[in-house]
Amino acid sequence: MLSILESFQLNPEQWFWVILCALFVGMAKTGIAGVGMLIVPILATIFGGKTSTGILLPMLCIADVFAVSYYHRHAEWKYIWKLMPSTVAGVLVGLYVGSLVNDQQFKLLMACIILVGLVIMVWRERKNTETAIPHNWMFSSIAGLLGGFSTMIGNAAGPVMAIYFLSMMLPKNSFIGTGAWFFLIINLFKVPFHISVWKTIDLNTFVLDLAMFPAIMIGAILGFKLVKLIPEKPYRIFIIASTALAAIKLFF
């Protein structure tokens, strides 16, 4: 195992960032969602864009299990089933075009969509009113398609799905529990494609992910503890603000 880890030829600073990312994965999946978007650019810098997606995916699956084990009873399954068909379609589209897409153009498009969604969310918060848009099947289909595509391309569906689940006006625990089950199902669905089609998951990357298990577990525990300290309203503001920052970062 040690020889496999040495094969990545990472220096101490890079190991620090990899371990920190594993810690963030655990925290993001158990309630501190904003830190999740920091992981993608850090790992991409160390391992390269496409390779980093295969390294990150098993970490996400491990953290998803932690999140589901704690928040499973809070899941709103009607929203998960509503999203699933279009999300699967988005994953398959992402699988097909993943090697052809201009990453910068895709990031700019995603950032624009996320920011528009955030404007709608802020308006809804200020007006404290319901609209028919989030409950329309087309809204769910578009959210699922974009979420599936972006999670396959770069494990970056967090902002899109945060917009959707918050638009459903889900309470804090329901927001986390529904997202936990949704991402566990979708991330497990993606694994065979990373192994057999993109070949970004192999024995070496899997050993690296296993080595990160303690950091992921510590991060998950920290997430459980910290999310209890955040009241409902500040939590929603935190999600909106962190999603906005993540979207803006996609421009650079």
Tens of pLDDT, residue by residue, the chain (252 residues): 777 888 888 999 999 999 999 998 998 887 776 677 778 788 888 887 778 889 999 999 999 998 888 877 888 898 899 999 999 999 999 898 877 766 676 667 667 766 766 676 676 566 554 444 556 678 888 889 988 988 888 787 877 787 788 777 788 778 888 988 999 999 999 999 999 998 889 999 999 999 999 999 999 888 888 777 777 677 667 767 776 776 676 676
Domains held by the chain: number: 1
Burial class (CB in 10 A: 0-12, 13-18, 19+), 70: buried
* pTM check: above 0.85: no
Per-residue confidence (pLDDT) for residue 4, from 0 to 100? 83
Per-residue confidence (pLDDT) for residue 209, from 0 to 100? 95
Per-residue confidence (pLDDT) for residue 167, from 0 to 100? 77
Per-residue confidence (pLDDT) for residue 99, from 0 to 100? 72
Per-residue confidence (pLDDT) for residue 236, from 0 to 100? 66
User: What distance lies between CA 97 and its chain's CA centroid?
Assistant: 20
Per-residue confidence (pLDDT) for residue 2, from 0 to 100? 76
Q: How many residues does the chain have?
A: 252
Per-residue confidence (pLDDT) for residue 98, from 0 to 100? 76
**What is the distance between the alpha carbons of residues 239 and 252, in angstroms, rounded to a whole number?**
21
Domain of 46 in residue numbering reads as: 2-249
Per-residue confidence (pLDDT) for residue 211, from 0 to 100? 94
Per-residue confidence (pLDDT) for residue 125, from 0 to 100? 61
Which residue is it, tokens 């009873």? 73
Kindly list the distances between the CA atom of residue 182 and the CA atoms of 31, 133, 140, 157, in Å, as whole numbers in the listed order.
14, 21, 14, 11
Per-residue confidence (pLDDT) for residue 84, from 0 to 100? 94
Number of Cβ atoms within 10 Å of the Cβ of 56: 25
